[in-house]
Amino acid sequence: MIQNTVKLLIVDDQESVHRALALSLRREPYEILHAYDAAEAFHILEQHPEVLGIISDHNMPGLSGVDFLVQVRLKWPEIQSVLLTAEATVELAESAVNAAGVRGLLAKPWKADNLRSLLREMLLPGTEQSVSQQAAEAAERALREQMQPARDPETGAFIIDEDLP
């Protein structure tokens, strides 16, 4: 398990979305900060320059998610972002990617696995590979443990399969 946490800011005007996102990410190595509008988010970003990722709703009072993320990109270009929306369209996706540099667009309701995978790819480079590599190594260990040398019941000699390379 990854020991260091990554600061992630969730920006949405609905408390239920904050709770659902936090629940989706509860076993992930993120320290989650919460903002309920763009003004509060800017204040948090000023106070926490170590934030590496943002999940922002698109349809918020005041600034839209895309407009908010455009401003974030100008001031904090290293921050990676995901736009969350109930009304995903091709136009919105193009605007989010081109204007705000958004790395992902998630439709509400989202699938927790898709969210976790996207955030790992964005914020924890190499994690997906290490997880799959760990799984392969665990499978190989289990296979080795299951393999018992075959013995001839009469002589007790090991049986060698000559067809194997």
Say whether pLDDT at 47 is over 70: yes
Residue 146 within a domain: no
Predicted TM-score (pTM) of the model is: 0.72
Residue 118 within a domain: yes
For residue 31, which of 59, 3, 58 has the smallest C-alpha distance? 3
What does the pLDDT read at residue 124? 86
pLDDT average, residue stretch 56-78: 91
Domain span at residue 127 reads: 6-131
The helix/strand/coil state of 104 is strand
DSSP 8-state symbol, 52: E
What does the pLDDT read at residue 154? 66
Domain with residue 50: its CATH number is 3.40.50.2300
Domain count, the chain: 1
Q: Which residue has the higher pLDDT, 130 or 32?
A: 32
Residue 162 within a domain: no
